[in-house]
Structure 1
Amino acid sequence: MAEAAFRDEQVLISAEELSVDPMAYTILHATVSFPKPRFDGDYRPESGYATWCDARIPGSLHADLLDGFSARDTRLHFSRPAPDDLASALAELGVAPDADLVIYDDGSMTWASRLWWMLRNVGIPARVLDGGLARWTALRLPVDSGDIAGFRAATPRTGLTDRGLWRDREDVLAVVSGDAPGTLVCALDAEQFAGTATTRYARRGHISGSRNLPAKSVLADGVLHSTDRVDELAEAALAGSGRPLILYCGGGVSACLLALALVRAGHTDLAVYDGSLEEWTADPALPMRTLEERSGGA
């Protein structure tokens, strides 16, 4: 069950609240364009900069999760940068060390949640705009468009440290083998978990022993469900499971939306597997399952 002491943590901001005085915040846009796969292994993420230029919340800055806000020394997409590199990326955008941060995206809050989790891991408070740009525009709030030529860099934050909210391949292997406590939770849709849908990754299905709690299930009309409803969904999917929860998805993005919903509801003993299925499925020696295999089918 959720821990009541954490239930009031402010991880969201509504469009109505932000619209009262948007200039009081530094607003970061974190969208990545990610078409649906046409065939297994069809992986085509693209920068969301163009969508930010087309329509954005006035005063917002585009945080590129494929470039400055990802590690540059890895073959994986969206890998978390080191704390100092994250601080540098924020400073290059012009984000002041004392800025009150709001993050949004053009989709279903997954990209905004990814950046929120990265910041949370190094102790930088931020809030995600509930419903993103879709909710903002549905309320007929103002939008800007067009390119912006450069930003004035700010002083980087100092003293940032990793708070251990991420897990890597070896951590997940330890849970799968029973050498470490925990429960793996797949945040992908039920069809992707079952292995019946086309996947962007090398193999279909889920990591052996996983539970399934789709990230999309915590949304209703594009905004987060109530904390009580998230608790109900978590109880139904994770009843009897051990802690900590290690959330994963395809590339460590949708899992962050699930983390946002669970943290807001008071769940704290959880982490995100950064490499997720992009890393895991690339090694044929690592165990994967489909629902057909779990039920004993051919």
Structure 2
Amino acid sequence: MTGPLVDPAWLAERDGLVVLDATVVLPAPRHDGDHRSSSGRDGWAREHIPGSVHADLLHDLSDPGSPWHFARPAPDVLAERLGGLGVADGTTVVAYDTAGGLWAARLWWLLRWIGVDAHVLDGGLRAWRDAGLPTAAGLATTTPGSLTPRPRNGYWVGKDDLVSWSEGAVAATVVCALSPETFRGEVPSRYARRGHIPGSANVPARGLTGPDGRYLPAGELRAATADLGEGPVWIYCGGGISAASLALVLTLLGRDEVAIYDGSLEEWAADPALPLAVGAPR
């Protein structure tokens, strides 16, 4: 089986796959604490890869009981909702989006976590169109599937893990996948406070793709992540979305000790007892 990324030709040549559009609309914050978001379902209905279904990461595939946006659901809940989208035991899923691959990577990470064979369409809908392949509009019918969750260990870390790391009790490389400006606290953020977790590095997820939305060549990706060293890598961002794109890249490069802090800055910054740093890392 191929790696995390597939191209339009690979997808177009195969039948029996479940193709999911994971797009969420998330505008840039206008001021601190501005967390506007909306489903990408309307955009999917206007134009999508034929046979695809919209997967709602904002509502259906997140935990409505969590105080944080996009928090992962329990494995059995996630499996049930994915089953409603046609994912079944033995299914191969290809995720895509129209927003540079971040949302597709998030869905890919959730799928892999519960044991589903999953891939990301490199370049998303734009790459599909650029390949001269047809698109469709309107709603779609889905045959529900029965999916048994088989959650894998090591995919997630929590706030307590980050606290232990900050106290020197745990060894890991912690890295923020947000933009350099957000990392340094120079621009408005969606969270309660600006800045980054002290001691963390910065590898912006948006810098891992080119203008066409495709991931950079492997050599450039290795160079972008060269300072992360060996051993476990724990990735955070605002809510576990950009972090998933960096997790995909590290997986592509053969790293296998990668975990995402799901609460990320939305959780961390909401606790005034936890430190945040501004400016460039020392």
Q: What value does the CA root-mean-square deviation take over the aligned residues?
A: 1.6
Normalized against structure 1, the TM-score is what?
0.90
- Residue type of the partner of 2:187? A
Give 1:91-240 correspondences, 5 Å limit: 91-148=83-140, 151-155=142-146, 157-158=147-148, 160-221=150-211, 222-235=213-226, 237-238=227-228
Give 1:27-106 correspondences, 5 Å limit: 27-106=19-98
Q: Percent identity?
A: 42
Q: 1:18 to 1:178 in 2, by over 3 A?
A: same
The answer (yes or no) to whether the contact 2:91–2:116 under 8 Å persists in 1 is no
- What SS class does the counterpart of residue 225 from structure 2 fall into? helix
- What SS class does the counterpart of residue 87 from structure 1 fall into? helix
The answer (yes or no) to whether the contact 1:30–1:103 under 8 Å persists in 2 is yes
Which stretch of structure 1 is more off in the superposition, 275-284 or 11-20? 11-20
Give a deviation string over 1:121-167, Cα, whole Å, max 9, x none.
1221100000001111222311111123x533222x22522422011
The answer (yes or no) to whether the contact 2:90–2:116 under 8 Å persists in 1 is no
Return 5+ residue gaps in structure 1 as ranges.
1-7
Distance 1:268 1:180 in 2: 18
The answer (yes or no) to whether the contact 1:107–1:134 under 8 Å persists in 2 is no
The answer (yes or no) to whether the contact 1:32–1:47 under 8 Å persists in 2 is yes
- What SS class does the counterpart of residue 288 from structure 1 fall into? coil
Distance 1:198 1:134 in 2: 29
Distance 1:190 1:122 in 2: 32
Counterpart of 2:231? 243
Distance 1:277 1:159 in 2: 28
Counterpart of 2:10? 17
The answer (yes or no) to whether the contact 1:248–1:277 under 8 Å persists in 2 is yes
Distance 1:107 1:198 in 2: 20
Q: 1:258 to 1:159 in 2, by over 3 A?
A: closer
- Residue type of the partner of 1:194? R
Counterpart of 1:289? 277
The answer (yes or no) to whether the contact 1:30–1:115 under 8 Å persists in 2 is yes
**Following TM superposition, by how much is the alpha carbon of 1:56 offset from its aligned partner in structure 2, in angstroms?**
0.5
The answer (yes or no) to whether the contact 2:178–2:202 under 8 Å persists in 1 is yes
Return 5+ residue gaps in structure 2 as ranges.
none
- Residue type of the partner of 1:80? R
